[in-house]
Amino acid sequence: MARSKIISDQVLPLGEFLIRVQVKVVRRLRLSIVRRERKIVMIVPNTMTVKQAMEWAQTQLPWLRATMKKYTAHDCITLAQSNDMEHVVLWGKKRDLKVDWRSGAGRYYIADEVVVLQMRPGTTTEQRQELLKRMMREELRRKATPIIKEWSDNLNLLEPRLFIQMMRTQWGSCNTYSGSIRLNSELAKYHPDCLEYVIVHELCHLVEPYHNEHFYELVQTCMPDWKKRRKALADYPEVKEE
C-alpha cells in the first residue's frame, strides 16, 4: 500500500511486551504482530494522542498474549523435512507436500493437489525451504500477471512492472513515479480473490496516491466486495484495528 509519513517513532512497554509505536498520517489505529520477528507494531493516526492509543492497546493484551502463544507453538508455513508427506497451503487449499529424491536439481511440480519438490539426495532443509519459497514466488507471478493486465486495461493504465518478495508488514506497495507494484509472496497462500483485491488496491494508487475519499470511491467502484476480501487477509500477519 502507499506509504504514509512517519511523524514520530518510539518503543514503549505494554504489559510484558515492548511495542513499537509510530504516529503517521493515517485514518485508523492499527495494532499488528510481525510474525517472523515476534515484534509488535502500533500505527497511531496523527489525530490521536499516543496516550489514548496506549490505553486502547492495553485492552488488547489478552489478544496479544494468545496470539504470541499461538505463534510460538505453531508456524503456519509447513516445510518438507523428509520424504514423508507434509502439507503446504497454496491458493487457499491445503495440499500434500512430498520430496522426490532424485538426481534432478531444484525443480518442483504440482499434480492432483500434491506439491512435489525434486531434490538431490543430501540437500539440506534450508535448500528445500528455498525451493518452496521460489515455487510460491513463481506461482504468484503466474497468477498475478493476467490479473494485472486485465485491471490495468480497465483503469486505462500502462501495465506496471511487477516485483515479488517477502514483505513483513504489507501485502503490497506501489511506486507512483516508476509505475510499478510490489506483492508479498505470502499472497500465494490465499484464495486468488485476495490477490485480486491487493492488485486492484495498488493499481488504484497509481491513479490516486493517497488514502482519501476519491481513492476509496475508486476501489469501491472497481470491486464492491473489497472489504470482504480484505477481511480474509486478516490472519497473517495478525492485525487488530479500532
In the block, cell 490472519 appears at 235
Instruction: Supply φ then ψ for residue 142, to 5 degrees.
Output: -60, -40
* pLDDT number for residue 108: 86
Q: Is the pLDDT of residue 116 over 60?
A: yes
Residue 123 CB burial class (10 angstroms; 0-12, 13-18, ≥19): middle
- The residue type found at 46 is N
How many other CB atoms are found less than 10 A from the CB of residue 103? Answer: 8
Do the beta carbons of residue 149 and residue 176 sit within 8 Å?
Answer: no
Domains of the chain with CATH codes: 6-73 (no CATH), 86-135 (no CATH), 137-241 (3.30.2010.10)
Q: Which pLDDT belongs to residue 104? A: 62
The pLDDT assigned to 173 comes to 93
Cell of 204: 488504484
pLDDT level of residue 239 (50, 70, 90 thresholds): very low
Give the residue from 164, 155, 163, 165 showing the smallest Cα distance to 206: 155
Residue 72: pLDDT band by 50, 70, 90 thresholds? low
Residue 92 pLDDT class (50, 70, 90 cuts): confident
Say if residues 18 and 12 touch (Cβ distance below 8 Å): yes
Confidence of residue 150 (pLDDT cuts 50, 70, 90): very high
- Between residues 68 and 193, the one the model is more confident about: 193
Cβ neighbours around 227 below 10 Å, total: 11
User: φ and ψ at 158, to 5 degrees?
Assistant: -65, 140
What's the whole-model pTM score? 0.65
pLDDT at 235: 59
78 pLDDT above the threshold of 50? no
What CA–CA distance (Å, rounded) separates 76 from 33? 14
What would the mean pLDDT of 201-214 be, rounded to a whole number? 93
Please give the helix or strand (H or E) that residue 187 lies within, else none: none
Q: Which three cell numbers stand for residue 177?
A: 513515479
Mean pLDDT of all residues in 207-236: 90
Q: Give the model confidence (pLDDT) of 2-22 as tens digits.
A: 566 788 888 889 888 889 999
Grade residue 227 by pLDDT with cuts at 50, 70 and 90: very high
Task: Assess whether pLDDT exceeds 80 at residue 69.
Answer: no
Helices 61-73 and 50-59, packing angle to 10 deg: 60
Least confident of 49-58, 80-89, 105-114: 80-89
pLDDT digits (tens, 9 = 90+) for 151-203: 999 999 999 999 999 987 789 999 988 989 999 999 999 999 999 999 999 99
Q: Does the pLDDT of residue 214 top 60, yes or no?
A: yes
